[in-house]
Amino acid sequence: MHPIKLIIIAILLYLGYRLLTSNRRKRLNKNTNNSASDTKADGVIEDVLVEDPICHKLVPKQQAVRLKLKDTDTIVYFCSEKCCNLFVTQEGEKK
Ligand SMILES: [Zn+2]
């Protein structure tokens, strides 16, 4: 093999290695700075699924419509305003 080819291969390997390590370092920095957006980027953990009590659909907590119950102080999550309103009217009928 020509020696120049060997040098080129060595440089490419080095660049590839640098790329891998710098990516890893960036990810680590992100983790310490703002974990919320980073976990979202990786598509894991942050989006906890909550169940809509009306249509029983599973919704990511961050996108869900929240309703705080006055009596118990618990928070109920809904897929949409529509389900939230339905829940409110149903709760009203119970009383
Ligand atoms: Zn719903």
Dist. CA 21–CA 24, nearest whole Å: 5
- Compute, in angstroms, the gap from residue 83 CA to the centroid of ligand 1: 5
- Quickly state the pLDDT bin for 71 (edges 50, 70, 90): confident
Residues by chain with Cβ below 5 Å of ion ligand 1: 52, 54-55, 57, 79, 83
Q: Does 41 or 72 have the greater pLDDT score?
A: 72
- Quickly state the pLDDT bin for 37 (edges 50, 70, 90): very low
**Number of other residues whose CB lies within 10 A of the CB of residue 92:** 8
Residue 42 is predicted with a pLDDT of 53
* Residue 59 near residue 52, CB atoms below 8 Å: yes
Q: Is it the case that residue 34 has pLDDT exceeding 80?
A: no
Q: What global pTM score does this model have? A: 0.50
